[in-house]
Amino acid sequence: MDCADTNSWIAYLAGSAGPDVERIEEGLAGRFLAMSPVVLAELLGDPALPFEAARFFQQIPLLGLTKDYWVRAGNLRARMIRLGYKPKLADTLVVQSCLDHGALLLSRDRDFRPFVTHVKLKLFS
């Protein structure tokens, strides 16, 4: 299962090239792509997002929130802060969703790299 971060979806919508965009296209065709609820909220929160794109994003299966998700996400963020990082809350929530579902995160954002080192996030960048 793959899960694309907001920046990869933006690149996809813009028609940009890149391995993450190719992976999104493959995931859509093979139906092994899911959406993090946080990423969906970020995308739908853009007032300039075309209506068709909003409808498209809402058709992609969501990664469900698992039991104690919020507790684990809070603990994860605290752990990363103790290690000297400054993870954004939204990034931490996306990471926790991916960890809970064993999903590969597609992203162009370098802020996810510490999660790879310290919590074994699977990252495709």
The pTM score is 0.93
DSSP 33-46: EEB-HHHHHHHHT-
pLDDT in tens, 7-56: 999 999 999 999 999 999 999 999 999 999 999 999 999 999 999 999 99
pLDDT in tens, 74-91: 999 999 999 999 999 999
Contacts of 107 (CB under 8 A, 6+ apart): 4, 5, 7, 8, 20, 123, 124, 125
CATH classification of 2-124, choosing from 3.40.640.10, 3.40.50.1010, 3.40.50.300, 1.20.1050.10? 3.40.50.1010
Q: Given a cut of 90, is residue 125 above it in pLDDT?
A: no
Residue 117: Cβ-neighbour burial (10 angstroms; 0-12, 13-18, 19+): exposed
Q: Given a cut of 90, is residue 57 above it in pLDDT?
A: yes
